[in-house]
Structure formats: C-alpha cells, structure tokens
Amino acid sequence: MASRADPLQAGWTLAAMEARVVRYADLVPCYNAFIDTRSPGSEAKENFTIIGPGVSENPDQHVHIAEPHGFNIGGARQPPGCVNSQHSHDTAEVFVIHSGTWSFNIGEHGEDARVICNPGDVISLPTGMFRGFTNIGDDSGYLFAVLGGDDPGRVLWAPYVFEMAKDYGLVLLENGELVDTAAGQAIPANMNPMPRTTAEQIAKLRCPTQEEAERLVWRPGTNTARSQIIGPDGWFQWDHGFNLQRFEMAAADALPTNVLAHANVIFVQNGTIEVHWDGGSILLAEGDTMTVPAGLEHSLSSPSGGVVFSVSR
C-alpha cells in the first residue's frame, strides 16, 4: 500500500470510511416513492436510494449517500406477490438479484415478453422500454439496482398506472414529484399534473421478442469466477455509463490492490468481504454496500468466501 504521505491516500480514517458504508440492516425505506405505491398489489414495496437521488417521485425519499458518482445506486424490496408497475427509464437500469425469485415483464401491459431471474442473476434493461417486475417467490426479495448518470431522469409510466393511482390520492406533477391528496396535500397553483402517457409515446418504445428479452440476463456460470458483466469486455455490449464486475471468492481468498480514477461501489451478494486500505479495514456482510473513494488504493479479502459486485465508471 502507499505511504500515508501520499495525498490521495491521506485522511481516510476508519470513521471516514465507515461513513461510506450502507449496511443492509440500516437501509431506510420509502413506501410511497412512486405513483403506483397505493395501487392494489404494489402497496407493500420498499424503495431505497443508496447513492444519488435515483428516480423517486417522493421529495422526502431518504438518500443515504448524496455524493455524485456518475451513476445511481438503489434497491427494491418486495414481499411475495408484490408488483412494480410497467414503466420506462431515460438511462440504463440494471438489477442484481440479491434474494427472491422475480418475474420481469416487458411491454405496456407486461405481456410481450417475460424472463425469470433468481439470486445472483443480473438483468440489464435498456432505455425506452416498458418493464415491470414482480416477486413470484415465497419469501421477501431484494434487488440491488444501478441507474446510469448522476441525473437518471424521470419514469415514464404506462397509462393504466395513472388510472389506478387517482383512486388512491396520489397525483404525479409535471415536474416529476408526487402530491398526496389523501394526506391533505394540494396541487400547487402554478403546477399541472403529469399528462397521461400517449399512444404516440408508447409507439416510440422498444418491444423485444421473448428471445431478445432472454439476452438481457446474465446468469452465474456464464463466465469465469472474475466476470466483467458490463464494460469494454463485458457480457452486455451496449454503453451503460458504468462498469459492473462480479468476483467469486473462496474462504481466505484475496484480490490484489486496486486503485480507480473514480469511486468504486462494492455490493456483497453473499458471504463476507473485507475491504483493506492504508489506514484500516472494514468487514461487509450480505446486502451491505460501500463506496471506496476515487484514487484510494484498496484490496479485498473474504474470510468466509463470498460473491461481491463492483460498480465503477
């Protein structure tokens, strides 16, 4: 490791690095992040913004780490049968399946294609395509999410979502924020509701075949233990605005010292992962997220064995 005289390495005390860790147990959920969160079948979903503002429509959504990274990190946790309604994004959306069995449904009504994902799978959902997802397993499931860009834009909802929401007091404004009329909030005088998505907008969206939808998923065993899933040599060949790697480590394994020009976000899929730098180390458990500062030399080891994903620019 570099000496502490190196200005890029100096100052990263244990306390400073702990502030860059979001433990799974400490995640702060939002239960009304989106316009569909009171619609039957969707009311129990939890939304998390871990790094960056994400695409939450609730201005009170808790952001764990606000520092811009060039991408956003979030999460979704849903009980069995819970639905995330059909929508589209302006930037890339990637999910790592941490737990649960999930059905990703493509198209305006989720009927054009369908893929099933299990823990460890990665699904990359392109821009300009309606998608929704449902936990079809028997237990609560959690998705680790990456969105491209510091500003990932707004969600475009399928028309039926607006129809359902108006019966439950949620109104989406043209600036992308929610108003909760059931809680006594009023639509501001200078603001209009978001127009319902038109047939012309829908016609411009992609509609993949079932075969094409299957190719949106990377599954464990597809590649070697050290897999670049998104990036110059990645499984997915289109530009996402970020790179995603997966490392499968046996007990007592270690990865060599690494230093990146941009922050490196680490997400533990399973097992335990220890992050080392010149100044200390931090042990991460399943579901934990840590962002390592740009330019800081660091290495990883695994006391128990485990799988870790790394997101960087």
269-280: average pLDDT: 96
| Same topology between domain 31-218 and domain 226-312 | yes
**Above pLDDT 90, what percent of the chain?**
89
**Domain segments of the chain: what residues?**
31-218, 226-312
**pLDDT over threshold 90, residue 244:** yes
Q: How does 6-32 read in b/e, with b if 16+ C-beta sit within 10 Å?
A: eeebeebeeeebeebbbebeebeebeb
Is residue 184 classed exposed, middle or buried when 0-12, 13-18 and 19+ CB atoms within 10 A define those classes? exposed
Q: Tokens for 294?
A: 């740009």
CA distance 291 to 250: 23
Residue 136 clears pLDDT 70, i.e. is over it: yes
Q: Does residue 2 register a pLDDT over 80?
A: no
Q: Name the architecture of domain 31-218.
A: Sandwich (2.60)
Write out pLDDT tens, residues 288-309.
999 999 999 999 999 999 999 9
Tell me the HSE value of 298 on the side-chain side, using a 13 A CA sphere. 28
Q: 226-312: which CATH number, 3.40.50.2300, 3.30.450.20, 2.60.40.10, 2.60.120.10?
A: 2.60.120.10
User: Using 50, 70 and 90 to split pLDDT, how confident is the model at 107?
Assistant: very high
pLDDT in the model for residue 227: 86
pLDDT at 233: 86
At 4 the pLDDT is 38
pLDDT attached to residue 261: 93
Q: How far apart are CA 229 and CA 43, in angstroms?
A: 33
Whether the CB-CB separation of 165 and 155 falls below 8 Å is answered with: no
Please determine, for residue 7, whether its predicted confidence score (pLDDT) is greater than 70.
Answer: no
pTM of the model: 0.94
Query: Is residue 224 scored above 80 in pLDDT?
Result: no
What is the share, in percent, of the chain residues with pLDDT greater than 70? 96
Amino acid present at 4: R
pLDDT at 221 (0 to 100)? 83
* DSSP secondary structure of 150-186: SS---PEEPHHHHHHHGGGTEEEBTTS-EEEGGGT--
State the Cα torsion 152-104-313-247 to the nearest 10°: 150
Distance CA 199, CA 84 (A): 21
Q: How far is CA 264 from the centre of its chain?
A: 15
Are 94 and 123 within 8 A, CB to CB?
Answer: yes
Q: Per-residue pLDDT tens for 37-92?
A: 999 999 999 999 999 999 999 999 999 999 999 999 999 999 999 999 999 999 99
**Residue 229: pLDDT band by 50, 70, 90 thresholds?**
very high
| Predicted local confidence at residue 199, as pLDDT | 96
* pLDDT score, position 10: 57
Q: What is the mean pLDDT of residues 216-232?
A: 85
Query: Residue range 209-220: average pLDDT?
Result: 96
Q: What is the mean pLDDT of residues 118-144?
A: 97
Task: For 77-89, write each residue's pLDDT tens digit.
Answer: 999 999 999 999 9
Residue 210 CB: number of other CB atoms within 10 A?
11
pLDDT of residue 54: 96
pLDDT attached to residue 3: 37
